[in-house]
Structures are given as C-alpha cells and as structure tokens.
Amino acid sequence: MLGFLQGFAYGLFISCLPWLIIGLIEPRMAVPLENPTRWHVMLRYWLILPFIAFILWVTSLFGGFGPTLGGWVAGLLAIFVAIPAERSWRGWLRRRAERRQEAEQEAAAQRERAALEHKAREAGLAILDPEQPPVGADELVRALCDTKGALLKARRPDLASQVDRIYTRYAHVNEVLEGKFDERELTFERSLKLVREVSWTAVDNLNTMASVARGVRGVDVNHVRGRLDRESHMSDEERRALERRLELVQETETRLRDLGARNEAAITALDDAAVAVSAVNTDRPRASVAAEQAMEDLRQFVEKAHHYGRKG
C-alpha cells in the first residue's frame, strides 16, 4: 500500500507540470470552474497539488517500500480523471442550487399571489387568470378559470367579467362559512354543498354562454349594418341574408342576457348566504349565570365574609 502511495505521489507530482502549461494556455481545460483564470491554474498546479503530492510522498517513506507501477500510472492519470469528475460534481451542485432557488422563488411567488388574491377578494376585485388558477384552487374554481378562458376566446370579455364576480362571491361565502362553523359540523357540510350547487349552476350557465357566443363570433355586426345602410341596390336575397345574420346576433344576445340574468340570481343567492351566515351567532356565553345574578351572588358573599370576620 505504501509503495502504491509513493508511486502515486511521484506520478501526481510529474503530471502537474504539463497540466500547468495546458492551463496557462487555456484555463478552462485545466480548471473545472465556470470562469477560471490563470491564477486558478497557478494556485492549483503550482501550489496545492504539488503540496499534496509531497505530503503523500513523505507519508509513504515510513514503509520502506519502493514506488509501484500501479501507483505511477494512477498518479499520472489522477488529474485527467479528476477534472471531468469535478466538473460533473460542480455542475450537479449548481443545478441543485438553481432548482432550490427556483423552488424558493416559486414558493415566495405563490405566497405573494395568495396574499394578493386574498386582498383582492376582500376588496371585491378578485380577477381570475385562465392560465394560472389561484393557489389552492378547488375543482369549481378551476372550472371557472376554464370558462373564463372560453369566453375570452369567444371575444366576450364583458361576459368574462361575470366569472370574476361569481368567483369573488364564492370565495367570500367559503371564508364566512369557515369562520362561523367547524368543518366537522354537519351544518358546515350542508351549507357548503348548497353553495357549491348554486355556483356549479352558474358555471353551467357560463359554459352555455361561451358556446353560444362562439356561434356568432365570426359575424361582424358593424360591417353587416354598414352594408345594409350603404348599399341600397343589393338584391332581395342578399338583403335577407344580411338581415338574417343580424337576427341571429340579436337572438344570441337575447339568450345571453337571459343566462346572464340567471347568473345574477346566483350571485344574489351567494350574497344572501354570506349575509345570513354572518348573522348567525355561534359564540357560546362564557358566564354560567346572567350578569345581574352574578353581581347579587358576589354581594351576598361579601356580606357573609364580613359576618365571619366579626365572629372570629
């Protein structure tokens, strides 16, 4: 073992010189750092590795054995093997640090998003992002995000705003329920089930609105009306076709208004639920008797205490 160690020290010491020359010409080839300099090369191959080789050589002298061929070969190849190994190891450390930093940034971003969403809901200004549902969103909220995306694709941002209002009411009612009842109570489960049923009804209406709005997305109402106003010599068949397009749009708008009215009723129901639950008094009185009775008992106790003192 000491002979191998002595041979390894000789081989390592001799290999430092060619690697020093290579590193002075191109530091990246000799030092596995991101931005190596010639000072790194000098420090590594002129000081650190020769010192390690010297320590190994001095240690091997106590055995009294000569250097072995295997030790020589291992010493000569040590740097050649160590450079790619160290480069891989440093790359793994860098990637792990980057992943950790990304995870921390993502967690911080989620906490910030959750805080902003909570603040927006309290102010009644919560806005859903179809591409990025809120933190901890349940199935219904994700469905609202999908529905809003469908309405935006149908070029109806005016209808998409109704999604935000339903989401705000739904989140508000949930917060009120969680603040008033224990999640294990039967009342909480029944109330939450009813709130979700009403909200799912609104989601179904919104999906229908998105489907209906897509049907007339390609109709340019202004263009059709402009042609009807400008072109007075068009054929009767063409005029009927243009008028039919306007009728389709008007029928669609009428249906959209009816569905929107149903959603307004759902929003009102959610508001009523929030107000009703907020008015429920779930606090339990901490005093075992009324305040007047407690005062009277205390007065009698004081009088008895005085009598007891005079008797003593």
Does position 281 have pLDDT exceeding 80, yes or no? no
φ/ψ of 129, rounded to 5, equals -105, 115
Residue at token pair 């061929």 = 69
In this predicted structure, the answer to whether residue 236 has a pLDDT above a threshold of 60 is yes
Closest C-alpha to 72, from 60, 88, 85, 90: 60
* Rounded percentage of the chain residues whose pLDDT exceeds 90: 0
Q: What is the CA angle 283-118-172, rounded to 5?
A: 50
Q: Which is more confidently placed, 122 or 242? A: 242
- CA–CA distance, 208 with 252 (Å, rounded to integer): 11
Enclosing H/E stretch for 125: none
Cα–Cα distance, 304 to 72 (Å, whole number) = 104
Backbone angles phi, psi at 66, to 5 degrees: -85, 165
Of 164-168, 203-207, 264-268, 307-311, least confident by mean pLDDT is 307-311
Cα dihedral: 133, 139, 141, 145 (round 10)? 60
**Can you tell me the distance from the alpha carbon of 22 to that of 43, in angstroms, rounded to the nearest whole number?**
14
pLDDT higher than threshold 70 for residue 96: yes
Q: What are the pLDDT digits (tens) for 244-266?
A: 777 777 777 788 888 888 888 88
* Whether residue 312 has pLDDT greater than 50: no
Query: Which two structure tokens, joined as six digits, stand for 225?
Result: 């009306």
DSSP 63: G
The SS3 of residue 36 is: coil
Averaged pLDDT, 122-129:
61
More reliable by pLDDT, 89 or 180? 89
Return the sign of the alpha-carbon dihedral for residues 101, 106, 112, 115.
negative
Continuous H helices in the chain: 2-25, 27-30, 38-42, 49-60, 69-123, 139-153, 157-180, 186-215, 221-230, 236-279, 291-311
d(CA 44, CA 29): 13
